Amino acid sequence: MEYRIEHDSMGEVKVPADKLWAAQTQRSHENFEIGVGIETMPREIIHAFGILKKAAAQANSELRPEKMTAAKLDAISKACDEVISGELNDNFPLVVWQTGSGTQSNMNANEVIANRGNQIAGEKILHPNDDVNQSQSSNDTFPTAMHIAAVLMLEDKLIPAANTLIETFVRLEKENEGIVKSGRTHLQDATPITFSQEISGWRSSLERDVELIKLALAPLHELALGGTAVGTGLNAPKKFGEVVAEKVSQLTGKAFVTASNKFHALTSKDELVFAHGAIKALACDMMKIANDVRWLASGPRDGLGEIFIPENEPGSSIMPGKVNPTQCEAVTMVAVQVMGNDVAVSMAASQGNFELNVFMPVCIYNFLQSARLLAEAILSFNKNCAVGITANKEKMHHNLHNSLMLVTALNPYIGYENAAKTAKKAFKDNISLKEACVELGFLTAEKFDEVFHPEQMV
């Protein structure tokens, strides 16, 4: 491998000749060999850095035109566009497990943008710190990147994924209207419910989760940029935070604003904790829905068997013909990961000491993983399972009329205790509710038929 010599305030460093990063990135690359190639800084953060560095250059051009010249702005902007598009992803090798402020990743962005910008300009006009990092500090850029990445992930990926599944449930509700089945509570038989009502519960849960995520999004639109090192805004021009937030909004199409209190923005991650709580709520509901689906589809002969789901792949290497609810299992595993990530996000957010939180990389790594995995799992579940759900009407009818909890319909006529005696006798003697009720002398056969209508109990 060929190398070139780069230098920083600590001296010279050998850097791979074909890479755009420089000395500080290389030092981090060598000093933190933890999860290399696996747990690298999320691409969403790199994308966000491209946005914020371009926005910062534009703001500096307006507020400090003598320092951010037209030539420098053009070079930075074009390099940032390549970062945003992902063209330069191979130049961002750093892992999550680095300094807790994300300083090395900020410098990674500064060095790559400066070197690529110089290539574009055809001359060395950009310095990573003096130009690309102008009016900024790692301490305000990394939390800004976190919020930009979080907003884009939730608004552009997770919410649309949830809405896709909601639309499927809306269709299934309409298609299954009027199909009455046995309800279940405590995994035991309960009074009847329509299948469309059951699906409406799934749909409404997801709709509420989307509402909660949207509520959590508002605080994430506040950006720390402009606070620089400790929140005072040292070395940044007046109104830099406001102008750069406007620029970020223009670049993303999202309504970002500058944080009202930069001391809070640098040290507290409460907005991410709150938003991840909403993500976790969605994961909890997806766990419930996926479990409902696999229970209802259990069988094919020895389970509930009340619905059919698509058969996507063989389910066993030893049992021929076995097919498993694999999409449900994938969703539930992702839900478990999200719940675990919530602990990591919460613990990381609790480590805001004095003027800075120093657990930011692990916080955003887990946050973005949760949102990304959940969005992809929901889309997979929708495509490969939910859209193909159909009711086994015959089995639903059989289970409904075999349910002892239909005896609840008799409460107004024979009372709770006599209804309980009827159910217990029917179960003990393996006879119908009608036979038990008549044998016990609570109702005549004719009166039983007059008042007992399971399909009207919904």
Phi, psi of 275 (to 5 degrees): -65, -40
What pLDDT band is residue 278 in, cutting at 50, 70 and 90?
very high
Catalytic residue list: 186, 316
The residue range of the domain holding 154 is: 140-175+182-222+260-394
Is 94 a domain residue? yes
Strand partners, 8: 11
> Do 218 and 313 share a domain, yes or no?
yes
* DSSP type of residue 113: H
The CATH number assigned to the domain holding 13 equals 1.10.275.10
CATH number of the domain at 345, please: 1.20.200.10
Q: Model confidence over 138-152: pLDDT tens digits?
A: 999 999 999 999 999
How confident is the model at residue 1, as a pLDDT?
87
- The pLDDT of residue 84 is 98
In a domain, 255, yes or no: no
Is the pLDDT at 115 greater than 90? The verdict is yes
Helix axes 103-121, 43-63, angle to 10 degrees: 60
Does 254 reside within a domain?
A: no
Same domain, 35 and 90: yes
> What percent of the chain lies above the pLDDT cut of 70?
100
Model confidence at 259: pLDDT above 90: yes
Q: How many CB atoms lie within 10 A of CB 358?
A: 17
Q: Which of 297, 293, 274, 273 is nearest to 285 (CA)?
A: 293
Same domain, yes or no: 426 and 412? yes
Confidence of residue 416 (pLDDT cuts 50, 70, 90): very high
Query: Region 162-174: what's the mean pLDDT?
Result: 98
Residues 125 and 205 in one domain: no
Q: Among 444, 328, 268, 308, which Cα is nearest to 389's?
A: 308
Residue 201 is predicted with a pLDDT of: 98
Measured from the Cβ of residue 451, the count of other Cβ atoms closer than 10 Å reads: 13
Residues 320 and 408 in one domain: no
Does 242 reside within a domain? Answer: no
Residue 312 has pLDDT above 90, yes or no: yes
What span, in angstroms and rounded, lies between the C-alpha atoms of 202 and 127?
54
Number of domains making up the chain: 3
Instruction: Provide the strand spans (E) within 115-216.
Output: 180-185, 188-194
Report the mean per-residue pLDDT for the chain.
Answer: 97
Read off the pLDDT of each residue in 102-119 and give the average, rounded to a whole number.
98
Instruction: Verify that 63 and 163 share a domain, yes or no.
Output: no
Per-residue pLDDT of 191-219, as tens digits, reads 999 999 999 999 999 999 999 999 999 99
Q: How confident is the model at residue 10 (pLDDT cuts 50, 70, 90)?
A: very high
Residues 420 and 319 grouped into a single domain: no
Q: Do 324 and 275 belong together in one domain?
A: yes
pLDDT digits (tens, 9 = 90+) for 394-406: 999 999 999 999 9
For residues 359 and 408, membership in a common domain is answered with: no
Q: Is 62 inside a domain boundary?
A: yes
Tokens of 259: 């944080």
247 within domain boundaries: no
On whether both 202 and 329 belong to a single domain, the answer is yes
Q: CATH number, domain at 425?
A: 1.10.40.30
pLDDT of residue 13: 95
Statement: residue 352 has pLDDT above 90? no
The torsion of the CA quartet 437, 443, 445, 446, rounded to 10 degrees, works out to -150
| Domain-located, residue 147 | yes
What tens digit of pLDDT does each residue of 319-332 get? 999 999 999 999 99
pTM: predicted TM-score of the whole model, two decimal places: 0.95
Inter-CA distances, 269 with 12, 209, 229, 263, 264, Å: 36, 21, 16, 12, 9
pLDDT given for residue 258 in this prediction: 98
- Could you report the per-residue pLDDT of 26-84, keeping only the tens digit for each? 999 999 999 999 999 999 999 999 999 999 999 999 999 999 999 999 999 999 999 99
Same domain, 389 and 419: no
The residue from 110, 134, 158 where one domain ends is 134
The predicted pLDDT at position 163 comes to 98
Last residue of a domain, one of 104, 134, 164: 134
Residue 243 covered by a domain:
no
In terms of domains, do 296 and 157 share one?
Answer: yes
What pLDDT was estimated at residue 452? 94
